[in-house]
Amino acid sequence: MSASCGHHTSFDGVSDDYKRRLWLVIAINAVMFGVEMTAGQVAQSQALQADALDFAADALTYGISLAVIGASLKVRSTAAMAKGISLLLMGLWVFGTTLYRVFYTGVPEAGVMGIIGFLALLANLASVLILVKYKDGDANVRSVWLCSRNDAIGNVAVMVAALGVWRTSTGWPDLIVAGIMAGLFLTSAVQILKQARAEQHHQTSKVH
CA-atom Rg of the chain in angstroms: 18
**Domains of the chain, each with CATH number or no CATH:** 16-207 (1.20.1510)
- Determine whether 126 is exposed, middle or buried from the number of CB atoms within 10 Å of its CB (0-12, 13-18, 19+): middle
Is 0.85 topped by the overall pTM?
Answer: no
C-alpha distances in angstroms, 134 versus 88, 112, 129, 137, 149? 23, 33, 10, 7, 12
Distance of CA 165 to the CA centre of its chain: 24
Amino acid at 103: F
Residue 7: what pLDDT? 35
Give the pLDDT mean for 196-207.
Answer: 74
Phi, psi of 207 (to 5 degrees): -65, -40
Q: Are 120 and 51 in contact (CB under 8 A)?
A: yes
Residue 13: what pLDDT? 67
**What is the residue-averaged pLDDT of the chain?**
77
Residue 2: what pLDDT? 29
Residue 31: what pLDDT? 93
Kindly report, residue by residue over 163-186, the tens digit of the pLDDT. Answer: 888 888 877 887 787 787 788 778
Amino acid at 168: T
Percent of the chain scored above 70 by pLDDT?
A: 87
Give the pLDDT mean for 127-147.
Answer: 76
Lowest mean pLDDT among 95-99, 164-168, 196-200: 95-99
Give the dihedral sign, CA 102/148/90/59. negative
Residue 27: what pLDDT? 93
Given 3-state DSSP classes, what are the helix, strand and coil percentages for the chain, each rounded to the nearest 5?
A: 80, 0, 15
Kindly report, residue by residue over 14-69, the tens digit of the pLDDT. Answer: 788 888 888 998 999 899 899 988 988 888 777 788 778 778 877 887 888 788 88
Helix (H/G/I), strand (E/B), else coil: 2: strand
For residue 6, the 8-state DSSP code is: S
Percent of the chain scored above 90 by pLDDT?
A: 5
Q: Are 168 and 108 in contact (CB under 8 A)?
A: no
Helix (H/G/I), strand (E/B), else coil: 169: coil
Q: How far apart are CA 32 and CA 116, in angstroms?
A: 9
**Among 19, 105, 91, 7, CA closest to 54:** 91
Q: Are 200 and 169 in contact (CB under 8 A)?
A: no
For residue 70, the 8-state DSSP code is: T
**Which of 22-26, 79-83, 91-95, 112-116 has the highest mean predicted lDDT (pLDDT)?**
22-26
Lowest mean pLDDT among 52-61, 124-133, 140-149, 159-168: 140-149
Lowest mean pLDDT among 39-43, 110-114, 150-154, 168-172: 150-154
